[in-house]
Structure 1
Amino acid sequence: MTELTFGLTAPERCSYLPGQQEQVVFLLPDHPIDAQLYQQLLQHNFRRSGNDVYRPHCPACQQCQSVRLTVSNFAPNRRQRRILQRAKRAHFHTRLVAPSSNYYPLYQRYINARHADGAMYPPSPEQLDSLLHCNWLPVKVLEIYHQQQLIAVTVVDVLDKALSAVYTFYHPDYQHYSPGVLAILGLIEQAQQKQKAYLYLGYYVADCAKMAYKAEFQPQQRFSAEKWQTIA
């Protein structure tokens, strides 16, 4: 990896854990970056937000751990098979495509219903645009449909060796179908078809209830103590 220059943000309230503060290390924006370099950084606990690349750097907490799945040996568990079967009976289907400009009503409804107490509230078109576009990386979306209605969207980074899930939003009325789980299962299928080695799921925080579903996908690897460790 070439020599890189990073900055450090000031402490602020943690988005995941009450009573904690967070800081992030970020690649300085004037540093040239491309998909190949990002893939290397992804292997060291970094993530992307818009054009920015960052990783947590919190002195008092090490709970943010990147999660990835080795897609060649993944098999859905009993609960995941039930979710897939229920979605199939209801005529759900998915497709991986370039981002569209018509997602904002769905995104707005999701943020208002599910994250009105979070950092992404209130939603804005500019906020969604920053999720859907990156100047140096091809971005795709996994669309999930119930019959002909779009009910969920997952933003996906496409890399040589991996797919990386960036963010999922969905129609709140379809929460009982577990759209977050369906999105991951759909991405695993896409990664297998495209012969990718890994699917990255973003950060897992053990004490954050909203992230509990990620732990259900096993075996998985988590980046802890500066190395990938298998959790089964």
Structure 2
Amino acid sequence: MHELRFGLTAPAPCSYLDAQQEQLVFLLPEQPVSAALYQQLLELNFRRSGEQVYTPHCPACRACESVRINPAAFNGSRSQRRLLNKAQRIGWQYKLSAGASTDYFPLFAAYISHKHADGSMYPPEQAQLDAMLSCSWLKVRYLEQYYQQQLVAVTIVDETTEAYSAVYTFFHPDVCALSPGILAILYLLQCARQDQKNWLYLGYQINACQKMAYKAAFLPQQRFIQGQWHSFG
């Protein structure tokens, strides 16, 4: 990895843990970035948001642990297999493509308004979604889920030669009970295995944050803790 220059954001209230302050280390703009470099940064606890690459560097907290799964080693729990079977029985469909097939904003807006009306992403804006949907130096794919011929969920997925990385999932409130976020991960693991990827990255796990608890159920997995990957399950 060539020499890189990073910046540090000012402290701000944490979006996930009350009474905590967050700071981010981010790759300074106007530096050459590529999918190969991003793969190296993924392995060091970094993530992408729009064109920016960042990692948490909070003054008094190390709760954010990047999660990755080896698709060849993953079998799925009994409940996960039941969910996949249920989705298949009711005609649930998936499509992983290299381009957005429709306007995702109405679905995105419905999701943010329902799930995150008390968060920093409310009210939803087209610019928020646009920043996640594309990246000039990276291949971005789109996992669409359909129920009764209607688009009900979208997962934005980064691709490198070695991995898929799930960036963000949003879905229609009417299908919450069918757990489209979990179905997205299960399907992406199948795709990653088929495409011979070494890892599927799920973003950060915070043990004290209930909204992220579902990630811990995908076993075996690795988490980046204090500068090293540790295996669980």
- Normalising by structure 2, report the TM-score: 0.98
Task: Measure, in 1, the Cα distance between the counterparts of 2:87 and 2:153.
Answer: 13
Aligned runs of 1:66-81 on 2, under 5 Å? Answer: 66-81=66-81
Regions of 4+ moved over 2 Å:
none
Corresponding residue for residue 38 of structure 1: 38
Query: 1:182 aligns to what?
Result: 183
Q: Quick check: 2:21–2:59 contact (8 Å CA) kept in 1?
A: no
Aligned residue number for residue 115 of structure 1: 116
1:4 maps onto 2:4 in alignment: yes
Check whether the contact 2:154–2:170 (CA below 8 A) recurs between aligned residues: yes
Partner SS for 1:82: helix
Query: How far did residue 119 of structure 1 move?
Result: 1.2
Provide the residue aligned with 2:21 in structure 1: 21
Structure 2 CA distance for aligned equivalents of residues 175 and 80 of structure 1:
15
Question: For residues 58-86 of structure 1, what are the alpha-carbon distances to aligned partners after superposition, in whole Å with 9 as ceiling and x for unaligned?
Answer: 12100001000001010010110111111
Give 1:20's aligned amino acid: Q
TM-score, normalisation: structure 1: 0.99
Q: Is 1:95 matched up with 2:101?
A: no
Is the CA contact 1:99–1:139 (under 8 Å) kept in the aligned structure 2?
no
Deviations 1:34-56 (A, max 9, x none): 10000000000000000000000
Mapped to 2, the partners of 1:215 and 1:86 lie a distance apart of 22
SS in 2 for 1:121: coil
Distance 1:152 1:212 in 2: 20
Percent identity of equivalent pairs: 57
The one-letter amino acid of 2:23's match is Q
Give the unaligned 5+ runs of structure 1: none
Match of 2:62, SS state, is coil
Does structure 2 conserve the Cα–Cα contact (< 8 Å) formed by 1:69 and 1:198? yes
After superposition, give the CA deviation of every residue in 1:68-117 in whole Å (9 maximum; x if it has no partner). Answer: 00010100101101111111111001011122341110000000000011
1:176-200 alpha-carbon deviations (Å, 9 max, x no partner) = 0011100000100110111101000
Q: Find the aligned partners of 1:189 and 1:143 in 2 and give their Cα distance.
A: 15
1:208-227 aligned within 5 A: 208-227=209-228
CA RMSD of aligned residues (A): 0.7
Letter in 2 for 1:32: P
Do the aligned partners of 2:24 and 2:58 also contact (CA within 8 Å) in 1? yes
Q: 1:14-44, CA deviations, whole angstroms, 9 ceiling, x for partnerless residues?
A: 0110110100000001111010000000000
Stretches of structure 2 that go unaligned for 5 or more consecutive residues are none
Hey, what's the Cα distance between the residues in 2 that align with 1:61 and 1:36? 29
Quote the residue 1:162 is aligned against: 163
